[in-house]
Amino acid sequence: MVDFNTLYDYNLWANNNIMAQLTDRPFIGPISRLFCHVMNAHHIWNQRMLGMRAQYSVWSEYDFDIVRSMIESNHYDSSTILQSMDLNAEISYRTSKGEQHQSCLEDILFHVINHSTHHRAQILTEIRSNGGNPASLDYIFYLRD
Taking residue 26's Cβ as centre, other Cβ atoms within 10 Å add up to 10
Q: What pLDDT score does 29 carry?
A: 86
Q: What pLDDT score does 54 carry?
A: 95
Beta strands in 19-110 (DSSP E): 90-94, 100-104
Angle between helices 64-84 and 4-22 (to 10 degrees): 180
Q: Each residue's pLDDT tens digit in the chain (145 positions)?
A: 669 999 999 999 999 999 998 887 766 789 999 999 999 999 999 999 999 999 999 999 998 899 999 999 999 999 999 999 999 999 999 998 999 999 999 999 999 999 999 999 999 999 999 888 998 999 999 999 8
Domain extent listing, the chain:
4-144
- Tell me the CATH architecture of domain 4-144: Up-down Bundle (1.20)
CA–CA separation, 91 vs 17, rounded Å? 31
Element (H or E) spanning 125, and its range?
helix 105-129
Q: What pLDDT score does 27 carry?
A: 66
Q: What pLDDT score does 1 carry?
A: 60
Q: What pLDDT score does 132 carry?
A: 87
Contact 58, 74 (CB under 8 A): no
CA–CA separation, 51 vs 56, rounded Å? 15
| Direct distance between the N- and C-terminal alpha carbons of the chain, in angstroms, rounded to an integer | 22
CA–CA separation, 101 vs 91, rounded Å? 8
Query: Could you tell me which of 103, 70, 72, 86 has the C-alpha nearest to residue 9?
Result: 72
CA–CA separation, 42 vs 120, rounded Å? 13
